[in-house]
């Protein structure tokens, strides 16, 4: 994008985990960033880093409500809209499922209308959850998914599917230039320790000296993408000249079991890590792995951060946060309770 001096890039959800990394990278690229966030699940401290940049503005607001006047009065100068606004962890998005659905549908609709009014290009961050519990592996974009529309995860999964529908309809009607990213598991610094994702859960438990909770037997797989790789893909997707409107998977193809993730973390900590097993939650997908051939072909992108390098940076960040919070707590230690299994 040619950066005009008076143009803005709007990042909805810009105070969140991926959002704050995206804002920083956009600021480093010389873009002026208007961050809209309701601070529902964001770490407010993510804003501290961003507010050091003179080209950064923060507006508190919830996209399921009418957009704040501070955003609307910039309509004519908004050139790019990234929509990352929605709680993304099951424990957080299930706390108020109605709000989750409306954030995805009403919120995305408001931002699409803003894109239409401003002529801005619009990027929706969708999710691998649109594939539900997939029955083909890896998942290509044309796969229609295996989603329960009545289960407890549906507010997020179906909300994102409906948001994609809106984006494609705006594109088909010539109302906006849209891009749709389907983001697979992402990890890195600035995640919430309590957001219920497996990497932050595990690191939090290590730092608290607790055993690691594995849901089920640990044989379910995930593919973890380091957040800087994800952000690189989002910006490429926004800026690319694309021959067609199509969803694009963004994630890491390296698939590992939860048990293998525990092992990798053990290597980083340099200690044997204790685990406990709990029942799998309803509709928890057993396997998830992106087919990223489309991102490779259309964006010349693939993840470049090896898992151990990414986990090491993430662990170091959490440890320093944890140290700051607990005023130099003792180093991680390992419980030994006989009823618990080890990996």
Closer residue to a second copy (CB): 282 or 304 = 282
Read off the tokens for 259.
Answer: 């048990």
Closer residue to a second copy (CB): 152 or 216 = 152
Closer residue to a second copy (CB): 177 or 263 = 177
Which single residue is written with the structure tokens 């507006």?
Answer: 59
CB neighbours of residue 242 within 10 Å: 12
Closest contact distance (angstroms) between CB of 260 and a second copy is: 29
Q: HEC profile for 164-225?
A: HHHHHHHHHCCCCEEEEEEECCEECCCCCCCCCCHHHHHHHHHHCCCCEEEECCCCCEEECE
Closest contact distance (angstroms) between CB of 112 and a second copy is: 8
Closest contact distance (angstroms) between CB of 256 and a second copy is: 26
Read off the tokens for 289.
Answer: 């792995």
Backbone angles phi, psi at 306, to 5 degrees: -65, 150
Q: Which residues bind a second copy (CB under 8 A)?
A: 97-98, 101-102, 105-106, 109, 130, 132, 144-152, 154-155, 158-159, 161-162, 164-166, 168-170, 172-173, 180, 246-247
Look at the alpha carbons of 103, 314, 196, 295 in this order and tell me if their dihedral is positive or negative: positive
Choose among 68, 82, 78: nearest CA to 18.
82
Closer residue to a second copy (CB): 2 or 150 = 150
- Would residue 156 show up in a list of annotated catalytic residues for this protein? yes
Spatial separation of the C-alpha atoms in residues 240 and 298, rounded to whole Å:
8
Q: How many residues does the chain have?
A: 343
Closer residue to a second copy (CB): 152 or 281 = 152
The SS3 assignment for 102 reads helix
Closest contact distance (angstroms) between CB of 102 and a second copy is: 7
Q: Are 162 and 109 in contact (CB under 8 A)?
A: no
Spatial separation of the C-alpha atoms in residues 261 and 267, rounded to whole Å:
10
Closest contact distance (angstroms) between CB of 184 and a second copy is: 17
Choose among 118, 100, 111: nearest CA to 180.
111
Spatial separation of the C-alpha atoms in residues 145 and 136, rounded to whole Å:
9
Closest contact distance (angstroms) between CB of 163 and a second copy is: 9
82, 93, 131, 156: the catalytic one is 156
β partners of residue 277: 214
Closer residue to a second copy (CB): 174 or 330 = 174
Backbone angles phi, psi at 340, to 5 degrees: -95, 140
Known catalytic residues? Answer: 156
């Amino acid at each position: 994008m040619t950066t005009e001096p008076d143009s803005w890039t709007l990042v909805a959800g810009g105070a969140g985990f991926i959002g704050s990394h995206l804002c920083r990278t956009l600021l480093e690229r010389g873009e002026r960033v208007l961050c809209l966030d309701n601070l529902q699940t964001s770490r407010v401290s993510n804003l501290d880093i961003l507010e050091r940049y003179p080209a950064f503005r923060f507006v508190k607001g919830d996209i399921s409500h009418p957009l704040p006047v501070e955003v609307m009065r910039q309509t004519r100068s908004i050139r790019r809209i990234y929509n990352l606004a929605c709680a993304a962890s099951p424990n957080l998005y299930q706390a108020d499922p109605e709000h989750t659905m409306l954030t995805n549908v009403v919120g995305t609709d408001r931002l699409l209308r803003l894109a239409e009014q401003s002529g801005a290009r619009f990027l929706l961050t969708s999710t691998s959850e649109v594939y539900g519990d997939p029955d083909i592996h890896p998942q290509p974009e044309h796969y229609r998914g295996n989603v329960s529309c009545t289960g407890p995860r549906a507010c997020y999964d179906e909300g994102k599917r409906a948001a994609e529908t809106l984006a494609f309809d705006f594109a088909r009607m010539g109302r906006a230039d849209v891009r749709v990213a389907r983001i697979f598991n992402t990890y890195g610094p600035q995640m919430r320790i309590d957001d219920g994702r497996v990497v932050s859960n595990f690191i939090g438990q290590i730092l608290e000296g607790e055993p690691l909770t594995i849901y089920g037997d640990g044989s379910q797989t995930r593919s973890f993408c380091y957040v800087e790789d994800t952000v690189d893909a989002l910006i490429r997707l926004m800026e690319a000249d694309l021959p067609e409107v199509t969803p694009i998977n963004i994630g890491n193809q390296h698939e590992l079991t939860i048990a293998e993730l525990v092992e990798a973390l053990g290597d980083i900590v340099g200690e044997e890590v204790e685990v406990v097993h709990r029942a799998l939650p309803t509709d928890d997908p057993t396997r998830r792995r992106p087919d990223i051939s489309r991102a490779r072909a259309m964006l010349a992108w693939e993840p470049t951060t090896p898992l151990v390098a990414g986990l090491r940076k993430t662990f170091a960040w959490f440890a320093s946060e944890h140290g700051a919070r607990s005023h130099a707590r003792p180093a991680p230690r390992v419980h030994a309770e006989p009823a618990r299994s080890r990996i």
